[in-house]
Structure 1
Amino acid sequence: MKVYFNNSCKICKAEIDLYKKEKIDEIDWVDITDNKLAEKETSKDSKQLLRRLHIKDGEKVLVGADAFLLLWKKMPKYKFLYKFFKLPIIFNIFSVAYEIIAFFLYLKNKKQLKKSNL
């Protein structure tokens, strides 16, 4: 399983760094920053990858809240999050909240990337 994340986002990086400490062998961590291979592997463009967390598990690509559920399911320490957030009503709330937070992080990071390209 490959987890595609934005390493240039301080908040995203901090969260992923917590997950990396779990040292789950079946997870490959892939920084999407200027990564054409990630675009090819996921069939997503750089803006789509920057906008949400993506996971490729086999041939399937999961995005956003669905990606987080799979990630938490694979990590014993975070399995309780999977069990809670997969509940139908909770998942719907989580999905909406994720999209709102991801949108603002996208706007913030889009500005950071533009500044770094100057």
Structure 2
Amino acid sequence: MKRLDRDGAIEWVDIVRDQAALDSAGISYKQAMERIHVIDENRQLQTGARAFLVLWKRLPYYRRLAVLVETLPGLLPLMECAYRLFAYYRLPLTGKRRIDEKN
């Protein structure tokens, strides 16, 4: 998605290199690895499917998808369920270990 942000409309944060960004948002590294987090235009923290909507609204090609998700009843909750499943298995599917409580 970052490659689609040709206008630089999104401030992408590398959570490995920028602990200060996590601290200012009140997010631990473990929390950041478990779910996507986005701070919207109103400075509100959004996670999961709602976080994707915030991103999609600012990216070409995805803008229409965001409108569709917001318009069709029941689609956002369905996306959230799918995202939770994906987020839980994301690291093991890529050969990485889940972050333990110590991190």
The TM-score with structure 2 as length reference comes to 0.77
Partner of 2:14: 31
Identity of aligned residues (%): 29
TM-superposed deviation, 1:94: 0.5
| Residues 107 and 76 (structure 1), Cα distance of their counterparts in 2 relative to 1, 3 Å cut | same
Give the residue type in structure 2 aligned to 1:111.
R
The TM-score with structure 1 as length reference comes to 0.69
CA contact (8 A) 2:33 2:99 kept: no
What SS is found at the alignment partner of 1:77? Answer: coil
Q: Which has the higher strand share?
A: 1
Q: How does 1:22-101 map to 2 (within 5 A)?
A: 22-33=5-16, 35-57=18-40, 58-86=42-70, 87-101=72-86
Give the residue type in structure 1 aligned to 2:9.
E
Partner of 1:9: none
| Residues 112 and 52 (structure 1), Cα distance of their counterparts in 2 relative to 1, 3 Å cut | closer
Taking only aligned residues, the RMSD between alpha carbons, in angstroms, comes to 2.4
CA contact (8 A) 1:30 1:38 kept: yes
Displaced runs of 4+ in structure 1, greater than 2 A?
19-22, 106-110
Give aligned pairs, total.
97
Unaligned ranges ≥5, structure 1:
1-15
Q: Which has the higher helix share?
A: 1
TM-superposed deviation, 1:75: 1.6
For 1:66 and 1:45, locate their aligned partners in 2 and report how far apart those are by CA, in whole Å: 19
CA contact (8 A) 1:55 1:61 kept: yes
